[in-house]
Copies of this chain bind each other. A is one copy, B any other.
Amino acid sequence: MLSEAARTQLSQTLGDRLSLSKSDLALHGRSETHFPTLPPDAVAYPETAEEVSAIMRTCSAHGVPVIGWGTGTGLEGHTSAVRGGVSVDFSRMNKVLDIHSEDMDVVIQPGVTREQLNEELRATGLFFPVDPGANASLGGMASTRASGTTAVRYGTMRDNVRGLEVVLADGRIIRTGTRARKSSAGYDLTSLFVGSEGTLGLITELTLRVHGIPEATSAAVCAFDTISGAVDAVIATIQMGIPMARIEFLDAASVAACNARDGAEMPVMPHLMIEFHGSERAVAEDAARFGEIAEEFGAQGYAWSTQPEERRRLWDMRHNAYYAILASRPGATALVTDVCVPISRLAQAVEETVADIADSSIPGPILGHAGDGNFHAILLVEPDNAAELQAAKALSGRMVERALNMGGTATGEHGVGMGKLDYMAREHGAAWDVMSTLKRGLDPDGLMNPGKLVRQN
């Protein structure tokens, strides 16, 4: 809750960049998925780290919760104002500050989006590869340790953040990491803040690794009779050391949704979609070698191309698959699951999930980042149907239980937020208490994005 005194002080700091408008509050409290809207009491639009620090000092002095906000594309209710407070919207801190081509890094503000960064990098021959689908802010992507289709080659946000500037709960501004490619100088604070979902501090600057735009790209697609055929082809390809840039799995239900909305005309069977990055010769060789492996595991209709239009058509379809799936049940809301398992268990995990969904009354097409062992069932529920939401949550819970029994995790890339909170004790055991200890050390009053990630104080 925001007292009169706190609001006055924040207004003095921000002027008309402190918003109390109803629509703004609702926008910052809404969820991309099935969570109810939980609006903050105010929205702050800082322009500098010093302003963020002033906001934090005010909120700390008055016991006001603070929630970081990028683009609102999180899937686990990360930005919901569970206890009210101030939503800190980073959209005005959206500058690319420095591009260091020789060092393959960039320094940016947290409100820069993934697409904006790649637009600004275009002339340099560099690109930022992490691609969660949504055009999220990079501060938000770092906060949830996001990844997506390219993690199999380029890693997740964990692997692509070199350093951060962070404002702590008491308003101190710290810097973590350096611009060197590696360091053994003490605790890895960068990794601690990446994935901390705004519960330990607010990111006000990022130094990111960037990569050279590949000389050539090839893309391929093929169908399999069985899920295990597709997964076995992936495992064999990884073991051969063929460097895939993306390797995506779509189950038959996802393919049907893409056919229906986007006229894809794919056989309604499990599919793999693959991309290779490298020299002209390497990507052709990789695509050919993958084709041989895939055929050994029963692939049908293997086709590959280096033509930009062909590739774009394929990946546009993959990127839009979530929306095609949403459209397959008009008016539905999604509960998006996100388990990740050791790849040796992926086929079993997907097959058991498909069977479990088939036994329920809820549609749930499955998409996966097969190279990472990470997959999503898009569980489609009627918005106000409590029984369906309950059933979807139960399905999700069983997916998590299976993943944990296989040595996996409840969330591969979406984060904990509110949606995965109930599974953390089961996943981490006593290590979850350690997370609470760290949280209390850095945010003793529990003001930073309360109700997310760690146990309630």
Which residues of A does B touch, CB under 8 Å?
100-105, 125, 144-147, 151, 156, 158-159, 168, 172-176, 178-189, 191-192, 194-196, 200, 211-212, 214-215, 235, 238-241, 278-279, 281-282, 285, 338, 340-344, 371-374, 403, 407-416, 420, 423-424, 427-432, 434-435, 437-438, 440-442, 453-454
Contact = CB atoms under 8 A, between A and B. Distances in A.
B195 A187 contact: yes
A172 B373 contact: no
A449 to B, nearest CB: 13
B179 A435 contact: no
A18 to B, nearest CB: 27
Given A180-B408, A182-B151, A430 B174 contact: yes
Contacts of A241: 211-212, 214-215, 278
A43 to B, nearest CB: 25
B412 A189 contact: no
A192 B195 contact: no
Given A180-B407, A342-B180, A186 B416 contact: yes
Contacts of A147: 182
* Count of this chain's copies in the oligomeric assembly: 2
A407 B178 contact: yes
Given A145-B184, A441-B441, A409 B342 contact: no
Q: Which of A183, A192, A440 has the most CB of B within 10 A?
A: A183
A169 B416 CA distance: 27
A45 to B, nearest CB: 26
30 contacts: A100-B342, A102-B344, A104-B239, A125-B239, A145-B183, A147-B182, A151-B182, A159-B159, A172-B430, A173-B430, A174-B431, A174-B434, A178-B408, A179-B407, A179-B408, A180-B372, A180-B403, A180-B409, A183-B411, A184-B338, A184-B411, A185-B416, A186-B195, A187-B195, A189-B431, A189-B435, A191-B192, A212-B241, A281-B285, A282-B282
Contacts of A454: 186
Contacts of A344: 100, 102-103
Nearest to A431: B174
A288 to B, nearest CB: 12
Which are the 5 A-B pairs with shortest beta-carbon distances? A191-B191, A179-B407, A102-B344, A183-B409, A441-B441
Contact of A195 (B178, B188, B410): B188
